[in-house]
Amino acid sequence: MLAIFEMSTLNAKRFNPLILKNHKKPFLIYVDDIEHFQKINNAYVRVKCTCNWTISRISKSLKKNNVSLLIIHCFRIADLRMILAAKENNIPIVYKMHGIYPDSVKRSISFYSINYAKSIRTLFYLLNIAMHTKNISFLYKIFLSFVFGKSRKSWMLGDTFNIDRALVWSEYWKNWHMQNWFIRPLKGWIITGNPDTQLINSINIKQNGICYVYQTLVEDGRLQKMIMLDFLDNLEKYSKNSKIKIYVKWHDRGSERMKCELIKRNFLVVQNLPRVNKFIGHTSSLLGLPPLIKSSLIIYKLKGIEIPIPILKCASHIVYNFNELQNILSDDKIKIDYKIKKTKYYFGEFYSNEKELKVINNYM
């Protein structure tokens, strides 16, 4: 049986549309975040919540359900537990890249104070990993990587968390994963292209306005709320003065509080990317799409947020304050370089469904 692991049901659905549509055998989706746990309307799917489970309990569940392949989408602390449980049952593990990543991520203190329940759960997971592997050094080494952005090399290079296959978007990301996450899949790499390119067909209707691609930077503890609100205030002033609509591409994990902040500023909050001439964003993987539809990609650098190299290389403009952003938004005569070739190199070519299905079918 196939099993998929993700933090939320929404992410499991978003990153696996091909499997949900084409896999006509019973399979499992394990979800770790109880706050984002929902049933899926699919006759073949059973959803289980692993919140607060030990590695031994996960292992028993995998064995009981005769799981023959586990798909993960990241190497978070919760994913590491799944890897250990699968390895205990000799279950092949396939990693499927789900977005673009900065070289390292540091959490703000506010993240741990606001999300104390998740913080306690994460500490429990770390202790469980250390006890299960009988390697107490994993406790502080992994902690330093996830909290302070320290290198993963000391705990990722061995066999403990190794996987069988890795599906990544491009050669660039193959090299990135080896250099930054020290992944060495036993059976090699598969270059799939960028799955977000499948969304292009749904953004055909051209609309007047500007699109801001929202991210859960505040919710994830990467950005102070006041910095985000200050940026939104300035964007609202620009919208009023210029009489230009601001569309906001919403993120499924965004909080209702932040959505209310957007709505009260008269931004048009949308689920799908609109086809507009200008996009504003920070680090979202969706920012690989504007160049492909010949729209201007403007990257706004927020304090403390590292912009991944692929986004920096593919941006039409990079700005560091709102005056710079306003000047670019107001001047339609500025020459635009869409950097389509660079976008395909860094974000990947158009997605190949066949490659993903072939890998899965080989294990089933």
Confidence of residue 357 (pLDDT cuts 50, 70, 90): confident
Q: Is 190 helix (H, G, I), strand (E, B) or coil?
A: strand
Does 309 lie in the same domain as 231?
yes
Domain that holds residue 259: 198-347
Please, are residues 227 and 302 in contact by the beta-carbon 8 Å criterion?
A: yes
CA–CA separation, 261 and 139 (whole Å) = 38
Q: Which of 53-57, 69-73, 323-327, 336-340 has the lowest mean pLDDT?
A: 336-340
On whether residue 263 sits in a domain, the answer given is yes
Residues 220 and 314 grouped into a single domain: yes
State how many domains the chain has.
2
> Is there a single domain that holds both residue 254 and residue 180?
no
* Residue 186 in this model has a pLDDT that exceeds 70: yes
Q: Quick one: 189 and 212 in the same domain?
A: no
Most confident of 30-44, 51-65, 304-318: 51-65
- Verify that 341 and 207 share a domain, yes or no: yes
The answer to whether 73 and 42 are in contact (CB under 8 A) is no
Residues 26 and 172 in one domain: yes
Residues 248 and 321 reside in one and the same domain? yes
Q: Look at residue 349 and tell me whether its pLDDT is greater than 80.
A: yes
Instruction: Look at residue 52 in the predicted model and tell me its pLDDT.
Output: 92
Could you give the CA distance from residue 306 to residue 145 in angstroms, rounded to a whole number? 16
Rounded mean pLDDT, 343-358: 87
Whether the full predicted model's pTM is greater than 0.75, yes or no, is yes
| pLDDT at residue number 283 | 94
- For residues 22 and 160, membership in a common domain is answered with yes
pLDDT tens-digit map of 40-99 = 888 899 999 999 999 999 999 999 999 999 999 999 999 999 999 999 999 999 999 988
Same domain, 84 and 180: yes
Q: Is residue 10 in some structural domain?
A: yes
Quick check: is 116 in a domain? no
Q: Quick one: 185 and 218 in the same domain?
A: no
Average pLDDT on 265-269 reads 95
Asked if residue 52 and residue 180 are part of one domain, the reply reads yes
Task: Work out the percent of the chain whose per-residue pLDDT is above 90.
Answer: 64
Q: Is 231 inside any structural domain?
A: yes
Average pLDDT estimate for 101-121: 71
Q: Confidence band (pLDDT; 50, 70, 90) for 165?
A: very high
203 shares a domain with 189:
no
Cα–Cα distance measured from residue 204 to residue 40, given in angstroms and rounded to the nearest whole number: 28
Looking at residue 86, its pLDDT comes to 98
Indicate whether 111 belongs to any domain.
Answer: no
Which tops the pLDDT comparison, 350 or 176?
176
128 falls within a domain: no
Tokens at 360, concatenated: 């899965």
Q: What is the per-residue pLDDT for 208?
A: 83
CATH number of the domain at 222, please: 3.40.50.2000
